[in-house]
Amino acid sequence: MARSADGGTRGARHLSPERPPRGEARRAHILEAALRIVGTTGPEALTHRRVAEAAGLPLAATTYWFASKEELVAEAYALAAARDVARIGTIAAALERDGLETGEDLAGRLAALAAQELHGERAGLIASYALWLEAARRPALRDIARGWTDAYLGLAAAMMAAAGSTRAEGDAQLLVAALDGLLLEQLARDEPDFEAQVLRPALERLIAALLA
């Protein structure tokens, strides 16, 4: 389970240059390009010109839809959050259907979900964390950050309750914080066998302590 700017999709969405996107599809295409830039070079590199080039569109297309860089960053963040919150809903529905029997079940499921993001579109995961940190400097982003984090806390609380926690909400805060820390470390270090050697054992120890 990890914050993912691509919401579980893989790779960039490329549209044919012979058929440029129109209307709302063009707006979404611009935001996808913005997220790719954030994931590869960081939010500070985000400019209308660079986004237009990445999207394969004229500069006027980005300035038509987004009046400023601040608006472009905020809308890209909102798109990433909305898409990932929808993914969280899908995971929650699967949890309700399948259930959990032990803390080890929970640790295994969380490790697998997080590893899927780490091994998938890495730039999307980096973009999500980069934009999350931007909320510390940009108050306009904080409602988006809060809503995104609340969705993760809700899912983690449901998972902890299913595994037998009697303090599910408090345990969820610790679990989500630990996961974010572990994933940020892995993004920076890129250690081999991270899921088996680090992530799953750490989650098993943490969840066992929380359920004790």
CATH of the domain at 125: 1.10.357.10
pLDDT value of residue 14: 40
Structural contact between residues 17 and 56, judged by C-beta atoms closer than 8 angstroms: yes
Question: pLDDT tens across 150-171, in order?
Answer: 999 998 998 898 888 999 999 9
Q: Does 86 fall in a domain?
A: yes
Report the distance separating Cα 22 and Cα 145, nearest Å.
29
Q: Does 42 fall in a domain?
A: yes
pLDDT value of residue 65: 93
Q: Of the candidates 118, 121, 127, which has an alpha carbon nearest to the alpha carbon of residue 183?
A: 118
pLDDT value of residue 117: 80
Q: Does 4 fall in a domain?
A: no
Q: Does 11 fall in a domain?
A: no
For residue 201, the tally of other CB atoms under 10 A from its CB is 13
Q: Does 66 fall in a domain?
A: yes
Q: Does 61 fall in a domain?
A: yes
Q: Which amino acid is at 30?
A: I
pLDDT value of residue 202: 94
Range of the domain at 200: 23-211
What DSSP character marks residue 167?
S
pLDDT value of residue 106: 86
- Encode 157-188: b = buried (16+ Cβ within 10 Å), e = exposed: bbbbbbbebeebeebbebbbebbbebbbebee
pLDDT lower than 70: segments of the chain: 1-22, 100-101
Q: Does 112 fall in a domain?
A: yes
Report the distance separating Cα 113 and Cα 95, nearest Å.
12
pLDDT value of residue 31: 94
pLDDT value of residue 15: 38
pLDDT value of residue 3: 67
Query: How many independent structural domains does the chain possess?
Result: 1
Q: Does 59 fall in a domain?
A: yes
Tokens of 81: 């959050």
